[in-house]
Structure 1
């Protein structure tokens, strides 16, 4: 169904707009969600013309194989305005162009303002949208904001207040692109669509939950940003805590925006707020050193561009969250994320409790007294998408010797390639006014409360960096963190390389 709207993209010449937003808008155009009644205004400081802007847009969608007619028609809806976010006169020009395009394309006053810029400009932009009369009185006005939403709780609260002075909460769409990923959205279906799992989704049957966001790349050209952020703020505060909330939330009364948000907020509120001593017991950090994996050499973090030689910024975080409610009391949620690890991969491992007695021990002389391997449900987020469930089955042959059996499903490359990209889904949600897969302020506030306690504790101590070699799965302290509770990381891809002498 066609949607009518004017997109105003602040930061229209930036990397995000070119790599993600323009291809996603074209996919929506190809599917008919955008047709005749839409327009895009790109704004930034560069003195581009409409023609040059349209050439850039055409170049960024060429991998989607548009016909010449599609490319020409799609790009004709794009307009460029050189813009200084601090100059009031430029907002007057923006209003004139917006009103003109609204009438030209029959947009009914529907406007989406996408702030693909640093958060320090958010307050200035929204205040000018109001003061210069750019907001319409017909149709809708929706604000889409990229992370980071603030740098700590105080800055986030101040930023939120500035925005809420102009936009009501229901019109604010704080984007977290992980919430648009197919398998992240599948978490709710796995839980609430299968009685076999929802019945077991509690502390009586689950021993621990492991969430891994592993990146094989280093910081590369993002050193300037990373020196201000680090792994804790870049990944844990948003992506990882959103996944924790989806895994831990109670069953919503309905699968609606308000019901889901309510349960996610309850889950985040139930996460234990650690003291400084508890932070040091339950969270570890790392920074990658030089290393060699499969014949490739990698430099240390402090030798990357725009990184200080004596930097104490973490590139790796591992930790244990505890959720103090009836369902999850006593069950650890282990998380880890890092740069320059063995493989790129995002996955969730649900580790179920052992049987109280292994009745097959009498058949396995060498395994007397040993537990059976645990049942593990794995949700693969990326780069592959799918599920696996590890069970115990009988080995072929005489007797009742057991072996782990994996029930495995992975989406085909063809399905994955043709599935909607995360930004495409989220842009369509914004068009439809559906904020289910966006972050509510209450979620952001709780996340910052949790992360600030970790950050403040770490800022008072000096880490022994670097402490893990590039190409490994993090520092030894991340493995010790689980070992002291009798647990271990389920996913250890570095072992394969070590066994073959490809990783020292």
Structure 2
């Protein structure tokens, strides 16, 4: 199977914060891969802007190093790299001052798609939006891309949205969540809405429960000062995991249209019930004596009294006709056994067993959607175990790994940032969050955080390299269910 590469229109993409970690790790390598594959048209330009006092050649050298480090050898073609670097320009820029803005304006071409990627702290968004307008750079067609965090609570999210809305219409604002750019996440919508096989079963009558897991093996690393002010709930649940839950639980939109899709996601968020404290487990990873990593969370954030969670598990209920009585179990954490992100839909048992020796019970059918590593889908079904000796049942997977099903194309799935940036150039907001989505998610999240802060709860310690706190196991065991094993 050969995927089609459809070039986008000619564009000027301005990366503000172009010398930072996100730009060098994701944005620039991703744009090069789109160039290599023929999706970035001749005449398109990437304009780097940051405080660093370097020139265009210095920026190109930085981009070359980023490509060599973060792009696979199969696409590191010297001729292609040189051609891509020719499309790069740089201007030193003061986000909070006046330096560089006239020079930036002189570079922007009004007759092509203009997009500005704010790869900077949200505290700078107001200054950037104000200057884009005061210098006459922005037009009614300009698109801006903003990175999370979209606030740290409902009040700050509303203030941030108001800052952006002061100069840009909602149709111009692209709030990026890289989870929505993953191939498997989009395939989830295709599996649900392009096949009659699953949608009739996609409700509480047939689905017993849903598990969403985002596990990391790393600790907070150099992000300790930021992470300790956020925690797993703000950093992962309120945005990434909320979006995954919405795609699982949403009703079919009337059309694959940006606002139609986002309207249905918003309905899910508003249908989320408040979560009682008994359905929440928080944890902090511990160090491992005598071997690496020796430090625990408290050492990594350099605060022995921190009550911020590096792990959280929740039992969530969606109060609507489709999902009444079907719980969604969410868990995410750092320093766990393996790096994995997956959604597992567990179907109910058949209402009656005709197989006496099965005892009326066997493992449930389960659809597992893997986001990382090895993106793909796996459907577990019961069959007869081969061989003589009666009807013995065994569970086997009907596996669809993209790498196997799509041949070489499946081994080279575009990075989420590549797809999302190309969607910005196309003007397609389907995979980007709308302002009211963000605010609704915080309106649900804020009381949960306020509750444990008011109680003074301390997170439960868990061993590095484990599956998380013991209480998280009990969260499901008391319902007669079990978490899936965390494995890469």
Q: Tell me if structure 2 keeps the 8 A contact 1:22–1:60.
A: yes
Counterpart Cα distance in 1 of 2:54 and 2:477: 57
After superposition, residues 41-120 of structure 1 pair within 5 angstroms as 41-62=47-68, 63-64=71-72, 65-98=75-108, 102=109, 108-120=111-123
- Find 1:337's aligned residue among 329, 332, 335: 332
After superposition, residues 3-402 of structure 1 pair within 5 angstroms as 3-62=9-68, 63-64=71-72, 65-98=75-108, 102=109, 108-136=111-139, 140-274=141-275, 278=276, 280-291=277-288, 297-304=293-300, 306-361=301-356, 364=357, 368=359, 371-395=361-385, 396-402=387-393
How much has 1:353 moved relative to structure 2?
1.0
How much has 1:262 moved relative to structure 2?
1.4
- Find 1:467's aligned residue among 441, 461, 467: 461
Q: Tell me if structure 2 keeps the 8 A contact 1:289–1:466.
A: no
How much has 1:292 moved relative to structure 2?
7.7
Q: Say what the alpha-carbon RMSD is for the aligned residues.
A: 2.0
Counterpart Cα distance in 2 of 1:133 and 1:290: 53
Counterpart Cα distance in 1 of 2:342 and 2:479: 21
2:3 matched residue in structure 1: none
Counterpart Cα distance in 2 of 1:34 and 1:373: 48
Counterpart Cα distance in 1 of 2:437 and 2:93: 32
TM-score by length of 1: 0.90
Deviations 1:162-181 (A, max 9, x none): 11111111111000001010
Q: Tell me if structure 2 keeps the 8 A contact 1:298–1:470.
A: no
Give the 3 Å change call, closer, same or farther, for CA 134–184 of structure 1 in structure 2.
same
Counterpart Cα distance in 2 of 1:127 and 1:56: 29
Q: Tell me if structure 2 keeps the 8 A contact 1:4–1:108.
A: no
Deviations 1:190-220 (A, max 9, x none): 1112222111000101110000001111111
- Find 1:477's aligned residue among 447, 471, 480: 471
SS of alignment partner, residue 316 of structure 2:
strand
- Higher deviation after alignment, 172-181 or 441-450: 441-450
Counterpart Cα distance in 2 of 1:297 and 1:260: 43
Counterpart Cα distance in 2 of 1:120 and 1:493: 38
Q: Tell me if structure 1 keeps the 8 A contact 2:282–2:459.
A: no
Q: Tell me if structure 2 keeps the 8 A contact 1:357–1:371.
A: no
Counterpart Cα distance in 2 of 1:488 and 1:66: 45
Counterpart Cα distance in 1 of 2:389 and 2:76: 61
Counterpart Cα distance in 1 of 2:245 and 2:56: 44
- Find 1:452's aligned residue among 439, 446, 449: 446
How much has 1:443 moved relative to structure 2?
1.3
Give the 3 Å change call, closer, same or farther, for CA 12–350 of structure 1 in structure 2.
same
Counterpart Cα distance in 1 of 2:384 and 2:36: 51
SS of alignment partner, residue 291 of structure 1:
coil
Counterpart Cα distance in 2 of 1:123 and 1:315: 30
Give the 3 Å change call, closer, same or farther, for CA 26–492 of structure 1 in structure 2.
closer
SS of alignment partner, residue 115 of structure 2:
strand
Structure 2 stretches lacking a partner, 5+ long:
1-6
Counterpart Cα distance in 1 of 2:394 and 2:76: 51
Deviations 1:65-124 (A, max 9, x none): 4443322232122222222211134323322333xxx2xxxx614210100011111111
Q: Tell me if structure 2 keeps the 8 A contact 1:272–1:323.
A: yes
Give the 3 Å change call, closer, same or farther, for CA 359–109 of structure 1 in structure 2.
closer
1:491 matched residue in structure 2: 485
Q: Tell me if structure 2 keeps the 8 A contact 1:49–1:80.
A: yes
Deviations 1:341-379 (A, max 9, x none): 001111111111122333323xx2xx64x5222111111
Counterpart Cα distance in 1 of 2:401 and 2:154: 39
Structure 1 stretches lacking a partner, 5+ long:
495-504
Counterpart Cα distance in 2 of 1:2 and 1:186: 22
Deviations 1:6-30 (A, max 9, x none): 1111111100000111111112222
Deviations 1:442-491 (A, max 9, x none): 21111111111111112123334451100111101111111222211123
Counterpart Cα distance in 2 of 1:291 and 1:207: 37
Counterpart Cα distance in 1 of 2:335 and 2:289: 11
Q: Does 1:430 align with 2:424?
A: yes
Counterpart Cα distance in 1 of 2:197 and 2:139: 49
TM-score by length of 2: 0.93
Aligned residues: 474
SS of alignment partner, residue 224 of structure 2:
helix
